[in-house]
Chain A
């Protein structure tokens, strides 16, 4: 093996390991007749651990330099490493949190674990995409696994309906995305994202070419908006969050958001920076609508999963504010600040979301779904610790210091203000104010109201540990945000 080939292999090692691990899980699951799926779980966790270590090895080996491997199809840069590490954590949290829940409902089948690992593989390919081709490949791998996971509980009509909706709208959005890509390909003659960027920069000066490119760009942004889940392409989010089994909702609300962020960066920041003046106003519209609709519609929800779905829409709108503040009047001096703010936001959001659904899973038990607001009633009486963890998560989602959510908002708002959109920042904080109401309502139910039931709150020890760490991490980042912020900034400067 030549040295070049060796390094190429090293850089895609995490993906290779994950693929192998997912296949092993599939085989192990066929032979192991254990209803707790101990073997499959062990292999899955081992795979994640190996992938984690392999990614760390890649980080160490690359020394922060950006590499394009496999003829430019695959990019290995600091952002991809960071996002992959975050995805591993999100997926392993999903595995730990969902085990008891699935077991109690007879849903703990090998498919869940296998599909989850393949979805993760899709996310990783998407995160590292260096070409429209790999990007689409990763996206579809991820999405197809998720469609199937939503329908995991096949006897549930709600879940089936959600899966159908998700599939149809997801397919539509993939179509839009492909159409946009084909337009850009038609104009530039290449699928490679860095070559596209160079070609677009050259073509953008001509009025005719530019309008053609922008035509394609509109479809790219629309497809992207579907995947991120922002208004007016958000319709699937509440139904899917609500209809899917809670562990699957947890998965959809974390890893795929991270991957969709990466997709936005690859397509817009890496691929079409020369058209920033065109896509930024589109994102302004998406962001404003999402924050407005997400925050206002969330107030009307009595189902906690639906409320968190609208909250996700609002949060993604807020995150877009970071992406759209990079360039102002042709000056990209703040680009790294703005994009790293969005990156910080999406990572913090994933931690919050995993935590919130984790608490729901923890409170659910055989024959009882914790998914309505009412189910949180009097939690402080039943279990002060879990009420406290949920309190941190809710205040973090609101954006109250000293929680990580505040610094996420602070970073994004500072990017918005530095880009000169003070009015946008004012609108954003006003919508967060609206949002405060429904998060506070959860705190109110937990702390101010009397419990309806007195069943003790208990769960497996591994989950207790991880979920506590999850909640406290938000507080820790809230008190010392610098390390994570610095990592995010470094990741963006390595693009």
Chain B
């Protein structure tokens, strides 16, 4: 009997979160921190066997667990991961661990609620990536809103209330339509099992309607242009840890939804409407790249950069070849590392000076050389420099786009210019030059805790850039299976 690894991945962090909450009160700060760290570490450890014991070359679901949950609606507690989703469960538990360490001293008020929110959120996110039942998926998908709403609203910046409400209502608006689509599929098939839906024949007109039902939910989450406007607000106002989880994991939910629902369940509509998705993706890549160039707030800049990078992901999915889809998945993981790292870098500076404005900095390299070196690496990765993880995904997607159409690849490749421009220009203004003011002159370099967090991400970024095979070989079989499936009409 194997251990129920996926259940552990979900419930260990949630249980840890509740334990932290139970140890509430301002007096037990030390205990709360230790409990949160132990919970996050344990949560990370239980996901490791998912990768180590993963059967490479098997396109199907692994680590399956299934138990009846709501018999009235034939809903099961059905979990499993394939090559596409397993990496996200790991990414999630890894990022959560970093966030807990990074948030060690960042928050003074309501510490137990802060850590509990992140731990519960982490468990719910693992649930989203491993749910194979649509209701279970939806429950996890929606439930993530509650902790994130609290995180942004309680520990966020000056405009946090607006940002939190906007985040919640945008996402909720998208997902309620998906709920109707899910119910429709339930009545068409008699079950909520996602894998059964992959085989369900659906008429084209219906497929198109369902496509839009799902599209709104996932497009808001990704976020795709033109429904991305909540993201810059949410990112800017969220505390550092919130921005990290938002960028690294929550944005992946939308993209994951496309591969788990839209493409395999509605292949014909996906092919028919690919032009729409590609157009929106290219606008995100090119136009939002330009928007990022104009930002004066570092967090906003990284937020727009996220929208632009996620445009690459949706582009990769809808050109329907192995390079594109695999490249998009690699890009998702890489973006998880890089955007997390960049937000943490901004967090490091913010903790010291309480400003996110580019104009308030300059010459940071003089006072924080170690930090400057690490941030250089992440900036390069964000720009897509070879030998960093950012390069692999972008290169694969551009290759895939080239196979589909030269002009697609041409527009997509502008990101290499814009991405480098906005990232490196920001880096130059913040890090280089003469020391800008007294606050910069007083900066202290990274402490041991921050070095460990950023160092871990640096290792991940470099490893993935130099030797991406451990990541791609896991997803290979599942991606090919998905593409075979999408190529077959199921009218």
- A residues whose Cβ falls under 8 Å from a Cβ of B: 380, 384, 395, 400-402, 406-407, 410-411, 413-414, 417-418, 422, 425-426, 429-430, 432-433, 436-437, 440, 443-444, 447-448, 480-482, 485-486, 489
Contacts and interface: CB of A to CB of B under 8 A. Distances in A.
Chain A binding site: helix, strand, loop or mixed by DSSP?
Answer: helix
Nearest to B152: A448
Nearest to A418: B187
B169 interface: yes
Contacts of B24: 384
Contacts of B139: 401-402, 406
Given A443-B149, A447-B153, A486-B71, A430 B142 contact: no
A482 B74 CA distance: 10
11 contacts: A400-B143, A400-B145, A402-B143, A413-B179, A413-B180, A414-B73, A425-B180, A443-B149, A444-B164, A482-B70, A486-B72
Contacts of A414: 73, 183, 186-187
A433 to B, nearest CB: 5
Given A429-B176, A444-B165, A413 B150 contact: no
Given A436-B169, A482-B70, 10 more contacts: A384-B24, A400-B143, A401-B138, A417-B186, A417-B187, A433-B172, A433-B176, A437-B169, A444-B161, A444-B165
B150 A433 contact: no
B180 A426 contact: yes
Contact of B176 (A430, A437, A443, A486): A430
A447 B150 CA distance: 7
A417 B143 contact: no
B198 interface: no
Contacts of B110: 380, 384
A280 B138 CA distance: 30
A407 B75 CA distance: 12
A413 to B, nearest CB: 6
B173 interface: yes
B176 A417 contact: no
Main secondary structure of the interface of B (DSSP, over half): helix
B61 interface: no
B69 A432 contact: no
B382 interface: no
Contacts, number: 90
Interface in B157-199: 160-161, 164-165, 168-169, 172-173, 176-177, 179-180, 183-184, 186-187
A9 B160 CA distance: 63
Contacts of A418: 187
B404 interface: no
Nearest to A387: B113
Contacts of B149: 440, 443
A476 to B, nearest CB: 14
B183 A400 contact: no
Interface of B: 24, 69-73, 110, 113, 135, 138-139, 142-143, 145-146, 149-150, 153-154, 160-161, 164-165, 168-169, 172-173, 176-177, 179-180, 183-184, 186-187
A436 B170 CA distance: 11
A417 B184 contact: yes
Given A436-B169, A437-B169, A406 B154 contact: no
A84 B35 CA distance: 46
Given A384-B113, A448-B160, A425 B183 contact: yes
Closest 9 CB pairs of A and B: A429-B176, A401-B139, A448-B153, A417-B183, A485-B72, A482-B70, A425-B180, A414-B183, A401-B142
A440 to B, nearest CB: 6
A378 to B, nearest CB: 11
Contacts of B145: 400
A411 B186 CA distance: 12
A482 B73 CA distance: 9
Given A406-B142, A414-B73, A448 B168 contact: no
Nearest to A398: B172
Contacts of A430: 176
A264 B227 CA distance: 43
A410 B135 contact: yes
B188 to A, nearest CB: 10
Nearest to A424: B180
A400 B146 contact: yes
Contact of B180 (A395, A400, A429, A480): A429
Nearest to A385: B24
Contacts of A395: 146
B479 to A, nearest CB: 30
B100 to A, nearest CB: 20
Contacts of A400: 142-143, 145-146, 172
Contacts of B177: 426, 429
B18 to A, nearest CB: 11
B349 to A, nearest CB: 25
B299 to A, nearest CB: 19
A406 B146 CA distance: 13
Given A401-B142, A417-B180, A481 B70 contact: yes
Contacts of B165: 437, 440, 444
A185 B177 CA distance: 45
A280 B211 CA distance: 30
A407 to B, nearest CB: 8
B151 to A, nearest CB: 10
Nearest to A484: B72
A380 B109 CA distance: 12
A383 to B, nearest CB: 11
A433 B173 CA distance: 6
A493 to B, nearest CB: 12
Contacts of B73: 410-411, 414, 485
Given A401-B138, A410-B135, A436 B172 contact: yes
A436 B180 contact: no
A436 B164 CA distance: 13
B70 A485 contact: yes
Nearest to B160: A448
Contacts of A489: 72
A485 B69 CA distance: 12
Nearest to A443: B149
B488 to A, nearest CB: 27
Contacts of A480: 69
Contact of A422 (B113, B142, B173, B180): B180
Contacts of B113: 380, 384
Contacts of B153: 444, 447-448
A440 B186 CA distance: 30
Contacts of A411: 72-73
Nearest to B156: A448
B161 A448 contact: yes
A440 B149 CA distance: 10
Contacts of B142: 400-401, 406
Nearest to B69: A482
Contacts of A426: 177, 180
Nearest to A420: B187
Contacts of A402: 139, 143
A401 B161 contact: no
Contacts of B187: 414, 417-418
Contact of A440 (B154, B168, B179, B183): B168
Contacts of A380: 110, 113, 154
A443 B145 CA distance: 13
A410 B145 CA distance: 18
A79 to B, nearest CB: 16
A437 B167 CA distance: 12
A422 B184 contact: yes
B44 to A, nearest CB: 24
A482 B68 CA distance: 10
A95 B124 CA distance: 38
Contacts of A437: 165, 169
B137 to A, nearest CB: 11
Contacts of A482: 69-72
A30 B154 CA distance: 53
Nearest to A486: B72
Choose among B73, B139, B143, B180 the residue with the greatest number of A CB atoms under 10 Å from its CB: B180
